[in-house]
Structure formats: C-alpha cells, structure tokens
Amino acid sequence: MFAILALAALAPASASEVNPIEKIVQMISDLQAKVIAEGKDAQKVYDDYAEWCSDRSAKLGFEIKTGTSDVAELKATIEEETASIGAFETKIEELSADIQKDDADLAAATKIRETEAADFAAEEKELTTVIGMLEKATSVLTKEMGGASFAQVKSASSLTDALSAMVQASALSSDDASQLTAFVQSSTSDADSDSDMGAPAAAVYEGKSGGIIDTLEGLTEKAETQLEAARKTESTSNQNFQMLKQSLTDEIKFANKDMDKAKKNLAASQEGKANAEGGLEKATKDLAEDKNTKDGLHEECMSGAEEFELNTKSRGEELGALATAKKVIVEATGGAASQSYVQASFLQLSSAADLSKAEALRFVRDLAQKSKSPALAQLASRMSSAMRLGSAAGEDPFAKVKGLITDMIATLEKDAEGDATQKAYCDKAMAEATAKNDDLQAENDSLSTKIAQKKASSTKLKEEVATLQSELAAGAKAKADADALRAEEKAAYDKNSAEMKQGINGVKKALQVLKDYYAKDASHGSSEGAGSGIIGLLEVCESDFTKGLTEMTAEEETAASEYEAYGKQDEIAVAAKSQDVKYKTKDAAGLDKSVSELGSDLSGVQDELGAVQEGLNKLKEMCIAKAEPYAEKKARRESEIAGLKQALEILEGEAALLQKSSKHFLRATKVHRA
C-alpha cells in the first residue's frame, strides 16, 4: 500500500522524463521528417525546373522553325535576284551593243549625206553658172550682133567657132567660152559618142545664127533638166537620210530609255540581293545559336533530371536505413527497456497501457476512415488483435503495437520513395520524348514547307509554260493568217499590176498610132480636132494608169517589207518562247523530282514522329492519366505517415510516463527498505 502511494506521489514529477530508447526513436523520426521535407522541397524545385525546361524547349523549337523558314525564304530571294541580275546585265549589254551599232550607222549615214550634199552643191553651182552663161550667149546672139563679129558668127562652122567669134567681139569672156565649150563637148559626147569632141553637126551652124541660138537654147534646156534632176536626187537623198536619221534616233532614244530602266532594275535587284544576303547571314547565325542553345538546354535538363533522380534515390535509401534502424531499435530493445526502466505495479501498467492502447487504436481507425485506406484499416485490426493476444499471453503490448505502426510507416515511406522514383523517371522520359517530338515536328514542318514551296514554284512554272505554249499556238495561227493574207495580197498585186501594165502598153500603142497617123497628113478638117481630144484623153489615161501602177507598186513594196519585218519579229519571239518553254519545263521537272525526294524524307520523318508520339502517349497514360495524380497520392501518404507517427507518439508518451514512474517507485522502495 505504501509503494502504491509513493508511486502515485512521484508520478507527476516524472512525466517530463524520457528514457534513452524513446529519445533515439524520436531523433530518428525527426530525421525522417526532415529528409521527407527536403524531398518535398527538392520535388517542388525540380517540378519548376522541368516546367521551365519544357517551356524553353518549346520556345526554342518555334524559333528554330521560324528561323529555318526565314533562311529558306532568303535563299530563294537571293536565287531569284541573282537570276534577275543576270537577265538585266545581259539586256544592258545587248542594248549597249544596239546603241553603238545605231550610233555607228547614224555617223556613217551622216558622213555619206554630207558628201552627197557637197557634191550636189558643186554640181548645182556649176550647172547654174553654165545656164547663166548659155542664157547670156543666147541673149547676145538674139540681138543680132553687127559688123565683122556677126559675120564671123554667121560663117562659123561649129558652135565652138561661134563662141570664139563672140569672145573676139567681147560679147563673152574667154573663161565663160571655155566653160561653155567644155559643157558643149560633154553634151555632144553624151548625145553622140561617135562625133568629134567640140564639132557637133557643123551644117546646123553654117550661115545661120538662128541655128546656133536653137542649139544654145537646147543646151540651156538640157542644163536646166540636169539641174532639176540633180535637185530632185538631192531632195530624195535628203528625205531618205532624214527618215533614216529619225529611225536611228528613235531607236537610240528608246534603247537608252530601256537601258536606264534596266539599270534601275539591276540596281534594285542588287540591293535586294545584298539585303537578302545580309539577312541570310544574320538568320543563319541566329538559327545556329538557337540550335546550339537547344542542344545545350537538352543536355542541361537531362543532367538536372539525372541529378534529381540520384538525390531522390539517395533520400529513399536514407529513409529506408532510418526506418530499418528504428524498427530494429524498437523491436530489439523492448524487453531490455522494460526490465531497465519499467518496474511499475501491474495495476498501474494495466490501466495506463489500456488507455494508451485504446487511444492509439481509436486514432488509427479514425485515420483509416478519413483517408479511406484499406492498409490503415488492416493495421487497426492487427493492432486490436495484438493488444488482446499480447495481454493474454503476458507479452509487452506496447512493443507489438509500436512495431506494427513502425512497419506501416516504413512501408508507406518505401511506397513514397518508389512513387518519387517513378515520378523522376516519368519526368525524364517525358522530357526526352517531348524534345524528340519537337525536333521531329520541326523537321516535319520544315520539309512540309519546302515541299509546299517547291510545289508552288513547279505549279507556277507549269502555268507559265502553258501560257507560253498558248501564246506560241496563237502566234503560229497569227503567222499562218499573215502568210495567207500576204499570199492573197501578192496574188492580187501580180494580177492587178499585170493588167495595169497591159493597159499602159495598150494606151501607149494607141497614142503612137494616132500620133503617127495625124502627123502624116494634116488635111483632116474637123476630125483632126477630135483626134487631138482623143490623144489628150489617152495621155490622161496613160498618166492615171502610170500613177495607179506606181501607187500599187509602192503599196506592194510596203506590204512586203512589213510582212518581212513581222516574220523576223515572229521568228525571234517563237525562238525566245520556245527556249523559255524548254528551260521552264526542265526546271518544273527538277522541282517535281525534289518534291518526290522530299516526300520520301517527309514520310520517313512522319513514321518516326508517329512512333515517338505513340511512345509519348503511352508515357502520358502511365505517368499522367491516372485516377489519382502523384501530388494527391503523395499528400495522402504523407498525411497517413504523420497520423501514424502521432499514434506512435501517443503510445510512446504513455510508456515513458510509466517508465519514469517505475524508476521513482524503485528508488522510493529502496529508501524505505534502508
């Protein structure tokens, strides 16, 4: 009775003491909680890091896709501008050659024109002088010179002798007489090459001043005719030169205008090419940097995932070691602790144990119902059985129940470690599969873009070829129509000109007949007037027919010239368009071949992409598409572990109280006995 009272008196004072075994278990539990907290923090940091890796990888993938498209577009621009530059340079060279040729032709024509004009001026001056001298000589003779001079002129046997007599009479200067003599000799040489120079028809001048005057007048008329012919020739030559000059000047003007335009286009193409090359250099550099950055990011993220996996594995191993140590301590030291620290009475042990066990059992059952965990419900059942069976068999109920709780904590912690390891695997595998999917998707998009561009270019070339072929067909039809029209015009000209020539010949014959008839006999009376009228009408008809034939011939020559020019232009156009059809057809075939090759590459990439996406979907099913996400499962398990630890603390707290009370009781008993 005294011992029980002493124990009761000492119990409150010993409530704050904890035996060494309990202290060790508590320290292990605290360390486990610390490791788990560190795991939570590390998991949060890694989740944020993995999200950053995913976002950064997606952004770089988009930038790489955009950069690849920009590089392809800039290369196409450079190729297009290079082709344009070549075309413009060729056109400038051709125009320069044409301008030089036209300038040379214009200079040559101008030189010829100047020579012709100088020759005409000399000839005109000479003929004008001769005409003036002839008119003067005629005037002198007309006044019937008197005296010996006139007698000498009348007795002159030739025009040369007459001119000499006029010189002696001072009616004509010796220079004028020399020029007239030369002109007479030239004229008589043209009229009769068999006559002696300077002695034409001596009988004509013999004793007749009138015959000399007629001769001088005839020479004057001939000189005037030559002057008129020279002036007409000069006018025609000048007109032809002006037309040629205008034509060459227009060609040079238009060629210079085309050259200026070609030079401006050339400068624009060169500027466009330079800008594209500068943009290509920057775009290529940026693309290379993005690819290097993405490769480095992939390695960095993989390294971070591996480091997280290793740390998670290390924490799991540490938790496993702590759980094992705690389990060994609890299970192996239960008897020794009870013998060393617990000597309380059966009544005290029974009442305190019953209370603590009942409270711990109730706490575990509530926790099982709250979390709806079959494992905790099974633990509560096993705890109840252990309490009943242990008490009946005389075993330590605290050790058995604490062992059950400790084992369940270790199991839950092991499951948590497994889930964390699987989470790390899922994050790593998902990151790798996502990166591979992004790379293949970017390559797929790039190939699709290239195929679309080449298909568009091929379609455009084929449309241009179809247009050119249509133009060639239309040109061929137009050429055939022009050939037929030219043939019709030529046939009509041949027929009409033949009829016109026949009519002119007929009119001429009729005129000749009538003129000969009326010239033989002048005694026709009134019929002669009618004949003169007929002759006049025939002459008008002859003039009209001649004029009509001339106009007809001019129209035919113009039509033939225009047809020839059209034929040359059509030939050039057909050759150029045929070459365009040939080259563009070849280019389109090359693009179609490239599309086929790229299509094969795209098919392979799509197959690989399909396999990667299938694997990614399986990973998502395994790692994401679960009824209970990892975060919820982790939170639930941590709640269960915390609850079990609290139940364990309940048991350990009651046991510690009893152990301390038993120590005070033993010490008090020893003192009492002493």
Q: How confident is the model at residue 93 (pLDDT cuts 50, 70, 90)?
A: very high
Tens-place pLDDT, residues 298-340: 888 888 888 888 888 877 877 777 677 667 666 655 555 444 4
Q: In sequence order, which residues have a C-beta less than 8 Å from that of residue 276 and are 6 or more positions away? A: 74, 77, 78, 81
Per-chain mean pLDDT for the chain: 74
* DSSP 8-state secondary structure symbol assigned to residue 186: H
How far is Cα 553 from Cα 493, in angstroms, rounded to an integer? Answer: 8
Instruction: Find the range with the poorest average confidence among 121-135, 298-312, 403-417.
Output: 403-417
Is residue 290 a contact partner of residue 67, using CB atoms and an 8 Å limit?
A: yes
Q: How is residue 171 annotated by DSSP?
A: S
Report d(CA 105, CA 252) in Å as an integer. 11
Contact 615, 489 (CB under 8 A): no
Give exposure, 266-278, as e/b (b: 16+ Cβ within 10 Å): beebbebbeebee
Q: What are residue 535's phi and psi, to 5 degrees? A: -60, -40
* 669 residue type, one letter: T
Q: Closest Cα to residue 394, out of 335, 443, 452, 311?
A: 335
Taking Cα atoms as reference points, which of 408, 390, 382 lies closest to residue 349?
390
DSSP 101-141: HHHHHHHHHHHHHHHHHHHHHHHHHHHHHHHHHHHHHHHHH
Q: Give the number of residues written for the chain.
A: 674
Q: Do residues 402 and 648 touch, judged by C-beta distance below 8 A?
A: yes
Give the tens place of pLDDT for each residue, 204-220: 443 344 567 777 788 88
Model-level pTM greater than 0.95? no
Instruction: Name, in order, each residue with C-beta under 8 angstroms of 661's C-beta and a sequence gap of 6 or more.
Output: 7, 10, 11, 14, 344, 348
Look at residue 9 and tell me whether its pLDDT is greater than 50.
no
Q: What whole-number distance in Å separates Cα of residue 21 and Cα of residue 336?
A: 10
Torsion angle in degrees (nearest 10) through CA of 24, 26, 29, 35 = -80
Token duo for residue 607? 């197959």
Average pLDDT over residues 509-532: 65
Instruction: Read off the tokens for 14.
Output: 């010993």
Cα 41 from chain centre: 52
Token pair, residue 78, equals 């450079």
Q: What is the CA radius of gyration of the chain?
A: 65
Query: Does residue 76 surpass a pLDDT of 80?
Result: yes
DSSP code per residue over 593-608: HHHHHHHHHHHHHHHH
The Cα 256–Cα 61 span in angstroms is 52
